[in-house]
Structure 1
Amino acid sequence: MFDNLSEKLDSALHVLKGHGQITEVNVAETLKEVRRALVDADVNYKIAKDFTNVVKKKALGQDVLKALKPGQMMVKLVKDELTDLMGGEAEGINLSGDPSVILMSGLQGSGKTTFSGKLAKYLKNKKTKKPLLVACDVYRPAAIDQLHVVGEQVDVEVFSDKGNQDPVAISKAAIAHAKANGHNVVIIDTAGRLAVDEVMMTEISNIHNEIKPHETLFVVDSMTGQDAVNTAKTFNERLNFDGVILTKLDGDTRGGAAISIKSVVNKPIKFIGTGEKMDALDVFYPGRMADRILGMGDVISLVERAQEQYDEEEARKIQKKIAKNKFGFDDFLKQLQQIKKMGSMKDLMGMIPGAGKMLKDVDIDDDAFKGIEAIIHSMTPEERSNPKIINSSRKKRISKGSGTSVQEVNQLLKQFNQMGKMMKMMQGGGGQKMMQMMKGMK
């Protein structure tokens, strides 16, 4: 996410970090490089120029040149200004109605239908919400079927009327259906076009005027850069939408849309899509995103994702097993499944401060655990619960059954043993011993 921009900003600010003395001249040179990095990321030139002018004014006005650590002070100023540029604070979604009606808008291919499913799953997980998805794309033959497939994936009902070509009538019928069947959120997926045209804008305006949604969201493909910002501006002039959804942030995006869209349309980015899976959805926090852009990671989001998968009862059982030295491969497998539910490995690693920079040229496959899982599944129940009994002949059988080498089986057993020792030390409060052991591990 934003790898190129992060690298260029880090390079620009590195000049100041390494300087024994910072002057007005090298501050100006650094901010010139920052502006160039933003423009390369497809941020509008005027926005980039205004951004660096504000940072420069604040830097010279806050005696950064005389500060004890002026380089760090400059990084903080850039981070704060990036946060303000992207909206300052996270903004929630309006769910005040009964049912709450959410209207999705955007161009074809922006990811509206997929995001509608993600949002339905996100709201459904809040326990008190029972969403209904509504298929109002009456033009693409496969659009209605696609939403039904998405609905099945997230276990949410989909309302559609294939014989009806009037999206306004379908929307009204869907809201009536929701009221009659206890759905307290209605998510309406509308038609998109390959480009903005008058027919499309009139249709979405008619739906908006008739159903008066509590929340209107504009879905935009972040990979389209400045074009995304221009499209958002056109939609906002007709719909006056409430917020922006940025999809495909896990792709090869330059980041310009995320950074500049708020200042152009004066509407907050509410959610971001970070992958194809139905749980690859995050609330947009400008401060956290600024941290990630500057290579500082996003530990808070990482912890929140972990907490979502945290099972207190299961954790207690694991704790008891560790205390009794009975933590086995079945338990380890459960932990792997929880990690996989947290999202793509590359995205998770990017949340760890410094890891994104270290792993920028490393291709982290989401199927990285497949080999480990295959080895564990090739073990007998007795071997999984008591790995100490796995001898040479058992290793050969396990490697053959999992399609791996004996060396890979040995490596997993060694790492599992080291992990068990670390867990035991954590239980006993041996923090220093654990740190020494970690230094010796890869």
Structure 2
Amino acid sequence: MPELKNVTVIGLGYIGLPTAALIASRGMQVVGVDTKEHVVRTVGSGAIHISEPDLDGLVSKVVSSGALTTSAKPEPADVFIIAVPTPIDHENRPDLSHVDAAVESILDILAPDNLVILESTSPIGTTESIARKIGERRPDLHVGTNGKEGGAVHVAYCPERVLPGRILTELINNDRCIGGITPACTRLAQRFYKMFVRGACVATTARAAELVKLTENAFRDTNIAFANELSLICDRFDINVWEVIDIANRHPRVNVLRPGPGVGGHCIAVDPWFIIDSAPDLARVMRTSREVNNSKTKKIIECAEALIDDHPYANVACCGLTFKANVDDLRESPAMDIALHLAAKYGPRIKVVEPNLRQLPSQLAEYRVDFMDIDEALRSCEIAILLVDHDEFKMVPLADRRHLDVIDTRGIWQDMPART
């Protein structure tokens, strides 16, 4: 069996860096690769460029021990993990340019018995495309054994499925879905992941594994869309959506999620489009769910504008910018979109509160808005747009916010009249 001692991780973002650090902590030699010079330099010094509990200590430890090093280019290894971004373009189509570049960067250094693993969320068939590219560019190699002797490279897909704020814990404990191009590829990838994963390593095909990842997030997006659509219906009939959901969920087989200002994060707001793009004639519910969740963001903007226009001299606190509570991640954040829109229209009247960021994002800075903590915002503002349910906001007593006109998109200030 091939040795799996040296690992190259391509992409040192929210998934790649924790994965590289965790593998290095298990006694393997890891090289972390990124195209961004500041990322290579930061991680190479033992520091981190993202916020994730306990990651700083782990990275510092494995860098100090020499188990994790960084580079701008891939180096020969036994295992190559591709963990690069897969965004959507302006037409909501998958952009695989980062995956393509990562594959190109390793083609010349691949060797027999190497294992290539794609972890990036990808459309159905992406892993097979990687295998074909390897075969076309490296005719001296073949994918899987397939009864052939020598020259075998193993290619598999294993999507990440972790929650920001719990990444290290979930990398270890969550089950993994592993799909190889051939059964031999799957078995070797399983053996690799079992070296640092306590959860089950479930075997399937590459195509099925790709769709499993997309299914998980499309399912969640659809359930959120139901809640967001329900909130709009409740608004029309002047019904408290939070009360409706709380009572409906007393039914033993009902679990309605809570609405919000839209859907954010790199996964849920993006992944359904991969399925929609692959089967546009069939993915009708998924497309509608994406449209509902995007339209909820526009509805919140309309409600906020109406309230602000009714109070022409009031200052406005936009409470929260991140895509979910208690993280610093702004990717695809509807809260950020809302704050940007209001800042562009109302300028210095907008005050931004985001306890998980150290400074105002550059996109907002050009509109001359103030960045302040929640206590200062409560003192200086007459309107609050509650966009993210951070713990700091949940702890604000009614007495400190009774004077505010509030649009509460998260239902955490239910003890006062709120618009959803």
User: Which bracket does the TM-score occupy, shorter chain normalised?
Assistant: 0.3 to 0.5
Tell me which protein shows more strand as a share of its residues.
2
Tell me the TM-score normalized by structure 1: 0.32
Tell me which protein shows more helix as a share of its residues.
1
Taking CA–CA contacts closer than 8 Å with sequence separation of 6 or more, which of the two structures ends up with the larger relative contact order?
Answer: 1
